[in-house]
Amino acid sequence: MNHLKEEELIEHYYSRGEGGDAAQEHLEQCARCAEAFKALEDDLSEFADVEPPARDAGYGERVWQAISGTLPAYEARKRSWLHINLWQGLSYAAACLLLVGVAFFAGRQWEHKQVQSAVKSQPPPVQQPVIPTQPRERVVVVVLSDHLDRSERLLVELKHADADSEETVSPLRDEARSLLAANRICRQDARKSDDPDLARALENLDRVLAKVANHPGRMDAADLTRLQEEMNADGLLFEVRVLRSRIPNRQGAKAARTEGGEI
């Protein structure tokens, strides 16, 4: 059996009556510890309360009179100002945080709803090809028209070019290189749109542009004459002019087909 230590006896002495004390059970079974506890009780009972000297009803008043002269009055305004400002500041900060939070949440919700409504308002799948196709073809038509204009100008300048002048031939070569890339795109589009006349004319144009653009070194009079003959032989300039004049009609026909839903 483990006997109670002095600390445990002291703890038990002061916590008696609080219940749940295992020390009490031990003391009832252990004579040695019970004897030690009795000695502790005897010792501590010697320190009985000495009744403090009585103080009459006027004691508090006398204490107040003794100290009141040294006490400064609180400054109500200063105190309340600090107090109110502190709480006001905290309240404003909390309100701002709440406002920012609500605004953020509302923004997220609004954005979410916008995306959902955009998805819902999309046209049905049947109509989908109509809308994107129409602008795409219009862009190609505009580019083709522009391309034919530039090509016509180039061919006219080439027709009247002077082979002895480098200042005339060199810009033509640069322009031909630029037109060559655009011509290939237009030619591919003509094939796709099943327009054999346009495709053939663009092929002829491509051949001339390639020769001008890729001609090595300085273009002499013989080269220039050969190109001019080829142009005339094929009637390329005339063909380009005819095609360019067809563009508005061709655009109108396409638009009519689009409205009819044939595309």
Binding residues (CB under 8 A) for other proteins: these are: 6-7, 10-11, 14, 39-40, 42-44, 46-47, 49-50, 52-53, 55, 59-61, 63-64, 66-68, 70-76, 79-80
Shortest separation between residue 11's beta carbon and other proteins, angstroms: 7
Query: How is residue 99 written in tokens?
Result: 């406002």
Whose Cβ is closer to other proteins: residue 46's or residue 194's?
Answer: 46
Per DSSP, helices labelled H in the chain are 6-15, 22-29, 31-45, 59-68, 76-120, 130-159, 166-192, 196-213, 221-234, 236-259
Whose Cβ is closer to other proteins: residue 38's or residue 192's?
Answer: 38
Q: To the nearest 10°, the Cα dihedral for 51, 57, 63, 68?
A: 160
Shortest separation between residue 2's beta carbon and other proteins, angstroms: 18
CB-based contact 254:197 (threshold 8 Å): no
Shortest separation between residue 91's beta carbon and other proteins, angstroms: 18
Whose Cβ is closer to other proteins: residue 56's or residue 194's?
Answer: 56
Shortest separation between residue 111's beta carbon and other proteins, angstroms: 45
Whose Cβ is closer to other proteins: residue 40's or residue 199's?
Answer: 40
Q: Rounded to an integer, what distance in angstroms lies between the CA atom of residue 80 and that of residue 110?
A: 43
Query: How is residue 179 written in tokens?
Result: 């037109």
Shortest separation between residue 92's beta carbon and other proteins, angstroms: 23
Name the nearest CA neighbour of 237 among 212, 201, 189, 207: 201
Q: Rounded to an integer, what distance in angstroms lies between the CA atom of residue 187 and that of residue 194?
A: 11
Whose Cβ is closer to other proteins: residue 64's or residue 105's?
Answer: 64
